Chain A
Amino acid sequence: MRTTLARRIVTAGLRGFYRNRTVSLSSIFILTITLSIMTAFFIFHAIFNYTLEQVTEKVDVRIYFTTDATDSEINDVKARIVGLPEVKSVTLTTRDQALADFRDKHAGDQLTLQALDELGTNPFGASLSVVAKDTSQYQAIADQLSGDSGLLGGSQGSVDKINYYQLKDSIDKLNNIIGWTNTVGFWISLVFVLMSCMIVYNTIRLAIFVYRDEIAVMKLVGASNMFIRGPFIVEATLYALVATLITLIFYWPATIWVTKKTVFFFEGLNLHSYYVSHIFQLGGILLLSGIILSVISSLLAVRKYLNI
C-alpha cells in the first residue's frame, strides 16, 4: 500500500514537473541563481583561505643562535620547541646555509661579497624558523621561549635573539585582519543566503498560488494531505537536482576562465583544479541546500491551502 502511494506520488510529481514547464523553469532559474551565489562564496572562501595561508606561512618566529653555539645546543633547542602543542613546524638553517643564502641574495653586489670575504670567517649564526599552527599563537610561543619559563634550559646562552618582538605589531595586525574578515564574511554570507532563501520561497509560493484551486478540489475529492503534498515535494526535489547540475556545469568553464585570468595573481592556486577536486563535496552541499530550501518552501506554501 505504501509502495503504491509512493509510486503514485512520484509519478504525479514527475508529470507535474514536465507538464508545468513554465513554473518548473522559473523555479529552477531562481534556485540556480541562489546555488550559484553559494558556489561563489565557496570559491571565495577557498581563495581567501589560500591567500591567508600564503600570508601566514610567511610569518614565523626566528631564533638566532650565536656563532659559537654547538650543534648539540641547537638540536636541543629544536627538540624542545618541536614538542610545543602550538608549533606547526620548525626549520633549521645552519650557519653554512645562512652564508650561502646571503651570497645568493647578494650575488650581484660585489662590494658586499668582498667585505664578507675579507672577514675570513662566517659571521652568521644558525637559526630556527618556528611556524605556529595559528597566527594568534605566536605570542604564546614567544612567551615560552623567553627566559622565565626556562624552556630553552641550559641552551639559553647560545641564543642570540628572538625576532618575535620586532614582528609583534605586524602579527597583531594580521590577527586583527583575519578576525575582522571572518566576522564580516560570515555576516555577508548570512545576509546573502537569507536573501536568496526569501527569493526562492516567494518564487515557489507564487508558483503554488497558481494551484490553490486545484489543491482545494483535491481535498474535496477526498485526497489526504500527504497525497496532495507529495507531488510538490517531488517537484521541489527535481528543481534542486536540476539547479545543482546547471550550477556545477556553469562553474566548470567559469573556473577555467577565472584561473586563466588570475594565474599570475594567485601564484600556486589553480581554482579550476580546486573546483574539480571538490566537485562532489560542493555538489552534495548544493543539492542538500537546494532540496531543503525548495522542499521547505513548497511545504509552507502548500500548507496554507490545505486548511479546508
Chain B
Amino acid sequence: MLYFDKVSKEYENGTKVIDDISLTIHPGELVSIVGHSGAGKTTLIKLLLAEEHPTSGKVHFHSEDIHKLRGKDMTNYRRKVGVVFQDFRLIPNKTAYENVAFAMEAAGKHDDDIREDVPHVLDLVDLKDKMHHFPHQLSGGEQQRVAIARAIINRPEIIIADEPTGNLDPLNTYDIVQILKKINDLGTTVILTTHNKGIVDNLGRRVITMEDGRVTRDQKSGKFTM
C-alpha cells in the first residue's frame, strides 16, 4: 500500500534527516514509528503528506509516486489520507462541527451526508454535546478528538497521527490511543509516531525504530526499545 523506496532527505545546509529508507506498510496495519527527537519521524510523515519532497528515492501510494502528483490528483490523494497532528491544527474560527464538516465539504460530499455523518463521527469520539463549541472552548484532549473525527470523516485508507498524544495528559492519551485502535480494528491503516513507551508497549503491534534518519529496527510485534 505504502512503499518507501530508498528515500533520502537532505536540507540545503547539508543536514541529512532521512537516510536511504526503504520500507513497506501494508493495508490494515497499525504501525508505530518511534525514535528520539530529531530521529526523522516527523520528516517521514511530511514526506508521506507530500509537505516535503525527498532529495532522492520515491514514496509510492499503491502504484503512484506521490511526489509526482499535481493539482487535482494531489487533492484526491490527500482525501485518502487522514492526518492528526500533535498541536491539533483545528481551524480556530470554526466550531467542532464545522471543522469536521469542512473536510467533507472540501471533498464535495452532499449536504445530507454531512448532516448525517458529522454528528455520528463526533458521537464516536464522545463529543456530540460539544459539537458547536469553538476549539478554544475545548480541552486539549477534546480538540485532539475533533482532529481525529476530521481525519476519519471521509473514510480514508490511512490515518497518519504525528505525536497525537504529545500534548495530552495520561487519561486523554489513553482515550486517543483507544480511538486510533478502534479505527484500525475497522480496517483503516494507522501510522503513529510517538515518544510514549507505554502506548507502544500496550499496542503490541508493528514498531519501526528510527535513529539519525535511518530505520534501525522493524519489529512485527514490537516494544519501545532505544
Contact = CB atoms under 8 A, between A and B. Distances in A.
A214 B94 CA distance: 11
B108 to A, nearest CB: 7
A208 to B, nearest CB: 13
Contacts of A227: 105-106
B154 A222 contact: yes
Contacts of A214: 91-92
A55 interface: no
A20 B75 contact: no
A224 B75 contact: yes
Interface in A183-226: 213-214, 216-224
Contacts, number: 53
A210 to B, nearest CB: 10
Main secondary structure of the interface of A (DSSP, over half): helix
A222 B103 contact: yes
A306 to B, nearest CB: 11
Interface stretch (A1-9, A142-150, A155-163): A1-9
Interface string A236-270: 00000000000000000000000000000000000
Interface string B150-169: 11001000000000000000
Given A1-B108, A4-B111, A221 B51 contact: no
Contacts of B89: 213, 216-217
Contacts of A308: 50-51
A19 interface: yes
Interface stretch (B34-42, B76-84, B115-123, B207-215): B76-84
A283 interface: no
Nearest to A7: B111
Contacts of A219: 78
A15 to B, nearest CB: 8
A303 to B, nearest CB: 14
Interface in B85-101: 89-94
A20 B93 contact: yes
12 contacts: A4-B110, A216-B51, A217-B91, A218-B102, A220-B83, A221-B79, A221-B83, A221-B103, A222-B76, A222-B103, A224-B75, A308-B51
